[in-house]
């Protein structure tokens, strides 16, 4: 070929290449428009987020070989994928299917504290039975995938490949890079993906452009939406491994156990129902939120952690200049040193809380203290205080009863799992803007004690010469968290959940109120949103305040009185429990479940039926929901990945019998004693009295 002919050919090839690129670009634009139309119908927030979006770092580009890649145009067009993205993704999916990565919810036996409760002993027996069947199970991708968590969307080629190879029921995509997800909207066809996850029993959740903490906040809501059993095995597919995605995965693996917390169970719900009814029958005032109140002084929220010992003198020196709120057993510790709070917080439903309060305080000391508690509080406890106010506990069976009587009373958000959560939530809801957490450690240094030395727990240890009286002692479930002033501290799932919920609450307060400042001078866990501050650096407070006038103003603003209307046991049977008894016949587990798919469908059928009943029949639905979450999660964990069909059937039979026994026991209790209050015996304070 002559030089002139070669030149012409090169020009023709270049023109053809340009035409091909123009054609591919047009296809990308058409694909984007089509996808946007689908998202507008199926996921409006994604449409709103990306219809006018402009990439900040990553963009689509064709390389010399003709394949489409993502490049970072702020780094000289460095490619995101090291090779053809389709080849890279296909190999990644094949490797994952050969060796899937999962996180799993673990179950530990519960301590039986009340022989009348039916849920814990049945669950304990089930845990024991399944422990004998789990030795040779091997994780695989051949079972229904209740939840897949994907980090990084990229161009999205992995989505249809995974859906082809796996039965994915629920998918969450976390991608902190909006540019990446935006690119996928031009490349893959999202319509079949969305149609798949929009069918019954399926869900897709997008966490796009979010920070890790906000994403975890969203994930914590999933158990109540889709059922905890779908999270028992979460398949984790890591498409990208950026620093932000690494941070999210580390946070997720550390906090995964929190998804299983707070689900409740039947005995708790029955007690809550009884206590709420009796508190309302007595006309106990109900808490009203006034977070925009101005002019309140600083507030001390006092827990019973080990840091309290070094803070007592500081509290004593400033108690007349601030409002003091004690939490749980901290009341007894403060009583020992003569510091009386204005408000005291209790959030447990157990009646033996009364024994702790009575042993740690006198009636004279409690005079003038207002008890702030939840609707679940035992009347045994509320009767110890002359001034009492109850708040609606969110996601609790007593909520609708209060809502019917006092509709203006909103729920006290993020008020558990420990009493200091309730203390912080109460303080923010009353309008306090300058908050100090004292004795709120939520974790201990290696050489530190589990509570303040003033605590009754140490009185018990000294009296009995033994330990093990508190869940906060270090044990096999302890793990390390970031310390408030650097280093690490030892924590556990309950204290970690306390920290987690405090962080969410403070984040919400910062966004909705803006002027709330929270300070953490404790030598415990770091709490995001609570500024670490050494005790000696806390500002000098103003002169003494008129605490009586301020307290009176709070009670007048925040405690609602209402006409007493007694709810009788016959009303319960005739009206409030009718739905509970009617649904029991529809939620029996079938005998002839033969495969993991059939098991998944059966559990999903029952759980969906119960969850959907809650808006119209909250009492019937919530009496069952928590225990069903526990049984179904444990049954799925026990049955999935069994090596043979015979072992699967054996595991299912064990789980079904335990579940059916629970349903029978629950029906008997609600027929016979629906309003029986808690009678859990005290097993610790009695040791101090002997």
Per-residue pLDDT tens digits for 263-303: 678 999 999 999 999 999 999 999 999 999 999 999 999 99
* Distance in angstroms (rounded) separating the CA atoms of residues 139 and 236: 13
* Distance in angstroms (rounded) separating the CA atoms of residues 441 and 443: 5
Q: Tell me what pLDDT residue 19 has.
A: 53
Q: b/e map of 159-192 (b: 16 or more CB within 10 Å)?
A: bbbbbeebebbbbbbbbbbbbbbbbbbbbbebee
Model confidence at 18: pLDDT above 90: no
Cβ distance 452 to 439 under 8 Å? yes
Residue 12 binned pLDDT confidence (cut-offs 50, 70, 90): low
Model confidence at 42: pLDDT above 70: yes
Model confidence at 461: pLDDT above 90: no
* Distance in angstroms (rounded) separating the CA atoms of residues 219 and 45: 17
Q: Tell me what pLDDT residue 478 has.
A: 74
For the stretch 395-451, pLDDT in tens is 899 998 898 888 899 999 999 999 999 999 999 999 999 999 999 999 987 766 777
Name the residue among 30, 340, 81, 49 with its Cα closest to residue 206.
49
Model confidence at 467: pLDDT above 70: no
- With a CB cutoff of 8 Å and minimum separation 6, the contacts of 351 are 378, 380, 381, 677, 678, 679, 680
Cβ distance 420 to 275 under 8 Å? no
Q: Tell me what pLDDT residue 243 has.
A: 87
Cα first-last separation, the chain: 109
Q: The domain 284-560: what is its CATH number? A: 3.90.1480
Residue 255 binned pLDDT confidence (cut-offs 50, 70, 90): confident
The rounded radius of gyration (Å) of the Cα atoms in the chain is: 29
Residue 686 binned pLDDT confidence (cut-offs 50, 70, 90): confident
Residue 467, both tokens:
């330990």
Specify the 3-state DSSP secondary structure of 43.
coil
Residue 596, both tokens:
């993991």
* Distance in angstroms (rounded) separating the CA atoms of residues 256 and 262: 13
Mean pLDDT to the nearest integer, 326-337 = 96
Of the listed ranges 214-223, 227-236, 335-344, the least confidently predicted one is: 214-223
Question: Residue ranges per domain, the chain?
Answer: 3-78, 81-118+135-260, 284-560, 565-672
Model confidence at 329: pLDDT above 90: yes
* Distance in angstroms (rounded) separating the CA atoms of residues 299 and 345: 14
* Distance in angstroms (rounded) separating the CA atoms of residues 412 and 393: 6
For the stretch 54-68, pLDDT in tens is 999 999 988 767 788
User: Alpha-carbon dihedral of residues 78, 79, 80, 86, nearest 10 degrees?
Assistant: 180
* Distance in angstroms (rounded) separating the CA atoms of residues 226 and 260: 13
Residue 446, both tokens:
């290696």
Q: Tell me what pLDDT residue 612 has.
A: 87
For the stretch 660-678, pLDDT in tens is 999 999 999 999 999 999 9
Mean pLDDT to the nearest integer, 653-663 = 96
Q: Tell me what pLDDT residue 10 has.
A: 55
Of the listed ranges 468-482, 513-527, 565-579, the least confidently predicted one is: 468-482
Burial of 417 (0-12, 13-18, 19+ CB in 10 A): buried
Cβ distance 502 to 530 under 8 Å? yes
Percentage above 90 pLDDT, the chain = 65
Q: Tell me what pLDDT residue 62 has.
A: 81
Q: Tell me what pLDDT residue 9 has.
A: 53
Specify the 3-state DSSP secondary structure of 37.
helix
The values of phi and psi at residue 243, to 5°, are -60, -40
**Residue given tokens 């908050």 in the structure block:** 435
User: Alpha-carbon dihedral of residues 624, 629, 631, 634, nearest 10 degrees?
Assistant: 180
Residue 690 binned pLDDT confidence (cut-offs 50, 70, 90): low
Model confidence at 109: pLDDT above 90: no
Name the residue among 655, 588, 679 with its Cα closest to residue 107.
655
* Distance in angstroms (rounded) separating the CA atoms of residues 547 and 342: 8
Q: What is the mean pLDDT of the chain?
A: 89
Residue 232, both tokens:
């028992």
Strands 559-560 and 286-287 come out as: antiparallel
pTM: 0.85
More confident residue, 261 or 518: 518
Strands 323-327 and 299-302 come out as: parallel
Specify the 3-state DSSP secondary structure of 238.
strand
């Amino acid at each position: 070929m002559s030089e002139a002919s070669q030149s012409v050919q090169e020009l023709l090839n270049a023109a053809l290449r340009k035409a091909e690129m123009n054609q591919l670009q047009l296809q990308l634009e058409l694909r984007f428009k089509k996808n946007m139309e689908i998202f507008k119908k199926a996921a409006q927030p994604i449409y709103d987020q990306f219809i006018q979006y402009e990439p900040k770092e990553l963009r689509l580009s064709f390389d010399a070989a003709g394949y489409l890649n993502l490049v970072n145009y702020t780094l000289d067009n460095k490619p995101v994928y090291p090779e053809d993205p389709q080849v890279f993704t296909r190999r990644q999916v094949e490797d994952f299917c050969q060796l899937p990565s999962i996180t799993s919810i673990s179950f530990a036996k519960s301590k039986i504290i009340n022989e009348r409760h039916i849920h814990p002993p049945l669950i304990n027996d089930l845990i024991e039975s399944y422990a004998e069947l789990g030795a040779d199970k091997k994780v695989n991708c051949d079972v229904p995938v209740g939840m897949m968590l994907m980090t990084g969307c990229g161009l999205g080629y992995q989505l249809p490949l995974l859906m082809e190879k796996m039965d994915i029921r629920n998918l969450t995509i976390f991608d902190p890079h909006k540019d990446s997800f935006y690119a996928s909207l031009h490349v893959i066809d999202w319509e079949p993906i969305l149609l798949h996850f929009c069918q019954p029993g399926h869900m897709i959740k997008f966490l796009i452009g979010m920070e890790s903490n906000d994403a975890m906040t969203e994930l914590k809501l999933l158990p109540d939406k889709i059922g905890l059993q779908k999270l028992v095995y979460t398949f984790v597919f890591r498409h990208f491994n950026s620093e932000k995605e690494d941070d999210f995965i580390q946070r997720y693996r550390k906090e995964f156990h929190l998804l299983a917390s707070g689900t409740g169970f039947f005995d708790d719900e029955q007690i809550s129902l009884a206590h709420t009814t009796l508190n309302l029958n007595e006309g106990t005032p109900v808490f009203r939120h006034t977070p925009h109140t101005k002019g309140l002084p600083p507030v001390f929220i006092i827990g019973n952690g080990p840091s309290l010992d070094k803070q007592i003198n500081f509290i004593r020196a400033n108690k007349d200049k601030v409002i003091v709120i004690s939490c749980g057993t901290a009341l007894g510790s403060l009583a020992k040193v003569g510091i009386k709070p204005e408000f005291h917080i209790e959030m447990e439903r157990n009646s033996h809380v009364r024994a702790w309060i009575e042993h740690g305080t006198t009636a004279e000391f409690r005079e003038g203290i207002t008890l702030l508690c939840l609707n679940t509080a035992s009347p045994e406890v509320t009767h110890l205080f002359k001034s009492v106010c109850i708040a609606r506990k969110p996601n609790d069976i007593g909520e609708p009863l209060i809502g019917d009587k006092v509709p203006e009373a909103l729920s006290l958000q993020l008020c558990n799992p420990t009493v200091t959560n309730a203390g912080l939530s109460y303080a923010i809801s009353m309008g306090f803007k300058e908050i100090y957490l004292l004795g709120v450690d939520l974790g201990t240094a290696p050489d530190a004690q589990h509570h303040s030395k003033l605590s009754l727990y140490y009185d018990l240890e000294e009296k009995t010469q033994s330990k093990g009286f508190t869940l906060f002692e270090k044990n096999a479930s302890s793990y390390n968290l970031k310390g408030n002033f650097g280093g690490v501290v030892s924590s556990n799932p309950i204290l970690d959940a306390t920290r987690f919920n405090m962080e969410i609450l403070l984040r919400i307060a910062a966004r909705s109120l803006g002027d709330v400042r929270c300070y953490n001078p404790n030598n415990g866990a770091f709490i995001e949103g609570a500024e670490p501050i050494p005790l000696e650096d806390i500002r000098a407070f103003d002169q003494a305040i008129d605490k009586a006038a301020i307290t009176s103003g709070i009670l007048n603003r925040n405690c609602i009185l209402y006409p007493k209307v007694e709810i009788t046991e016959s009303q319960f049977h005739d009206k409030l429990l009718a739905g509970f008894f009617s649904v029991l016949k529809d939620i029996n587990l079938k005998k002839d479940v033969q495969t993991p798919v059939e098991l998944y469908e059966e559990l999903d059928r029952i759980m969906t039926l119960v969850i959907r009943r809650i808006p119209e029949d909250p009492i019937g639905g919530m009496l069952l929901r928590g225990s069903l979450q526990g049984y179904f999660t444990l049954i799925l964990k026990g049955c999935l990945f069994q090596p043979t069909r015979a072992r699967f059937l054996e595991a299912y039979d064990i789980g079904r019998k335990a579940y059916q026994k629970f349903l029978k026991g629950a029906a008997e209790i609600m027929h016979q004693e629906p309003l029986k209050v808690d009678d859990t015996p005290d097993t610790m304070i009695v040791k101090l009295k002997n």
